[in-house]
Amino acid sequence: MDRKQALEHQGGYVIADTGGAARYIGKLLEVETPPRKTWQGRVEILGVHSLHDIVSLQELTYQGKDEVTLSGAKISPADEQSIDANRSFQNSFYDALGDYRVLIASELENTEARLQQIDHELYPGQPAKQAKTETDEAYVYYQLGTLHQKPALIDNDSGEPMDLEGCPFELEVLQNDNEWLRVYHQSGYKFQAEDGSLVEPAKGDTLRIHRRHFDPYQILLNELEVPARQTLSNALGSFGFTEEDLTTCHNQLLHQLLASSNEDRFSGVNFLMYQKQGTTLLVQHQYERELKNTEDDIVFDRFECTTDKNKRSIVTYTNQFAAGK
């Protein structure tokens, strides 16, 4: 804006581009209009408008309530209706950081799509595993084989076999057209696609599993029955969090399952930490499991949620077989 507009906008909200990693929301406190020189403005920093680089809150050039004098070329009017005067500086930073993450993810997705197009030209008719892209790094690749005369997945890199029986993970099988089809293992060498159709890949065919399925948190979620997972999701939502806000997961049940192959009773506590916009939520997940051979398992889940603002709630899920305990 020119000096006349700046004088008229004095006292209003502006966007200040200081040349660092962030653009700031501020209030135009004072305008200086020396003759034959570019006008300058004194701006009080109120919040972060946007980011164009990865930076921590402490690394920002300016913090809330700082005052800075800038050339008029670095000051532009802000949309008054979009400004939340009660928004804290810290929360505005986390909002901007979240927006920047979405931007990076979108750019990465576009880049991966372009890489796939290039690989299609470089490796015509070749399986996708030979046309390496950044997407491939997110998967573990296997060949369908046998272990002790039973169907198994053989890791392409390590050669380690994994028993297919009881495999809870979503898999993808490579089709003849080099497209990946999402499937779940049914029995033997039979897999079921999302549309309900059965797929029977041959021995030696390529399958893959997304690495997120080996994540302790994903394994914990897979262990929960559908109503229990919904209970956890609702509890998170009541505090303004989602599963995507997880930062730390201690899966004690996973450790017990891996260490105790002959045990049929498990109990303990998992610890989950979620963070969003300067707020932290700790979930203590108390669980009890009794595995049955001929009956449904007995399941008990209790989620105790506490925020760093001392807000607290407790929700419980049991299946009908645990109700009489």
* pLDDT, tens only, 105-124: 777 767 777 777 777 777 66
Q: Please, what is the average pLDDT of the chain?
A: 84
What mean pLDDT comes out for the span 22-48?
Answer: 90
What mean pLDDT comes out for the span 293-314?
Answer: 90
pLDDT value of residue 129: 45
Residue with tokens 């998992």, as numbered in its chain: 270
pLDDT value of residue 260: 52
> Which of 50-54, 59-63, 111-115, 293-297 shows the lowest mean pLDDT across its residues?
111-115
Query: What's the DSSP call for residue 294?
Result: S
* pLDDT, tens only, 163-181: 887 677 789 999 887 889 9
Task: Name the strand (E) or helix (H) holding 45.
Answer: strand 40-51
All domains of the chain, ordered by start, with CATH?
Answer: 3-96 (2.30.30.430), 128-211 (2.30.30), 215-322 (3.30.1300)
* pLDDT, tens only, 205-251: 999 998 877 788 888 888 888 899 999 999 999 999 999 899 999 88
pTM score = 0.44
What are phi and psi for residue 166, nearest 5 degrees?
A: 80, 10
Q: Rounded distance, CA 82 to CA 74, Å?
A: 20
